[in-house]
Amino acid sequence: MPANPSPAQSTDEASARKPGMSRTQKLLFFIIAWLICLMPFLFWWNTWFGRKLSDQQLTEYLHDAKKPRHIQQALVQVGERITHQDATTKQWYPELVRLASDPVEEVRNTDAWVMGQDTSGAGFHETLLKLLVDPSQMVRGNAALSLVRFGDASGRSQIVALLQPAQITSPESGRIVDSDRPGTPVHQGGLIAKLEYGHAQTAEIRSPIPGRIRSVAGTGANVAAGAEIAVVDPANEQVWEALRALYLVGQADDLAAVRPYERDLPDISNDVRQQAIETEKAIRARDNH
């Protein structure tokens, strides 16, 4: 009688008898894998601001009210063309003035920056002055920074405000049910905490500026309406731009806001620290004259 096959032999024989994938199955598998790789790329391609737009696309994107990111993408590219002294950008200047009243904060914020790239733009100066009273702190700040390019220091107080931490207060009396940790970087509009109030209602507490969370009420904390929930220190990029502007228009009263950035601290970059020192020197030189 033949010997019983070993377990290894049985496994090998079973593997040999197992049919492989058909050509159709292989093709289907390849297509699915290709789509899995393609979808993230398509998403990135459609949202990446660096993708060059044609003149027709720029016009279409500037009017795409349903997709604010399209408007932002078009605004960024108009701004880049302006910096490269592309005369064709003037055809979109009326749109830049119109978009200053767009309901989306991010659109107004980007628009304020773009209008500062050409001090000869018709209506830009007047529009930026109106944006100094915008409900958004970031829009006011960007408008003020752009006005400095026009030789206009009307937004000096808004520029100084860009150096200050954002103090976020509670809209209602309630209990913190979730919160981020101090030291965490946060972008503008980023979620910091969730507040439960009333009859199981929840409010999302978001940062009005990009930066880093300095402090935040812990989970389970009870807070009163108007009480401080969090403090967010401004991002280095925002501080650097504000210091550069105050180098040109700052006054002695602004030094108290400038000096904290001259310190050797881990959260302050060397570029920001050096700019703060140079800004104080420039302000003192003007004050002495």
pLDDT at 46: 47
Residue numbers of the domain that contains 243: 235-289
Summarised one tens digit per residue, pLDDT across range 140-182 is 999 999 999 999 999 999 999 999 999 999 999 999 999 999 9
Same domain, yes or no, for 94 and 63? yes
Same domain, yes or no, for 148 and 174? no
For 262, the token pair is 């001259």
Boundary of a domain, candidates 234, 252, 272: 234
Same domain, yes or no, for 54 and 155? yes
Strands 228-234 and 166-169: antiparallel
Same domain, yes or no, for 182 and 129? no
Same domain, yes or no, for 171 and 260? no
pLDDT at 52: 84
Give the 3-state secondary structure percentages of the chain, helix then strand then coil, rounded to 5. 55, 15, 30
For 256, the token pair is 């108290």
Starting from the edge strand earliest in sequence, which strands make up the sheet with 174-179, in order? 201-206, 191-197, 174-179, 222-223
Q: Examine residue 23 and state whether it is found in any structural domain, yes or no.
A: no
Whether residue 76 contacts residue 69, with contact meaning beta carbons closer than 8 Å, is answered with no
Same domain, yes or no, for 47 and 149? yes
Same domain, yes or no, for 216 and 114? no
Q: What angle do CA 83, 88, 93 make, to 5 degrees?
A: 80
Q: Examine residue 268 and state whether it is found in any structural domain, yes or no.
A: yes
% pLDDT > 90, the chain: 77
Same domain, yes or no, for 61 and 157? yes
Nearest to 100 by CA among 151, 149, 140: 140
Same domain, yes or no, for 63 and 103? yes
Q: What angle do CA 151, 127, 209 make, to 5 degrees?
A: 85
Least confident of 162-166, 219-223, 264-268: 264-268
Q: Examine residue 20 and state whether it is found in any structural domain, yes or no.
A: no
pLDDT score of 246 more than 80: yes
Which of 5-14, 238-247, 266-275 is predicted most confidently? 238-247
The kind and range of the H/E element at 233 are strand 228-234
Report the mean per-residue pLDDT for the chain. 87
Overall pTM surpassing 0.85 (yes/no): no
Nearest to 144 by CA among 109, 196, 95: 109
- Residue 76: partners with Cβ closer than 8 Å, 6 or more residues away: 49, 110, 114
pLDDT at 267: 84
Report the C-alpha gap between 188 and 34 in whole angstroms.
35
Same domain, yes or no, for 116 and 154? yes
Query: How many structural domains does the chain have?
Result: 3
Same domain, yes or no, for 60 and 140? yes
Q: Where residue 214 sits, what CATH number does that domain have?
A: 2.40.50.100
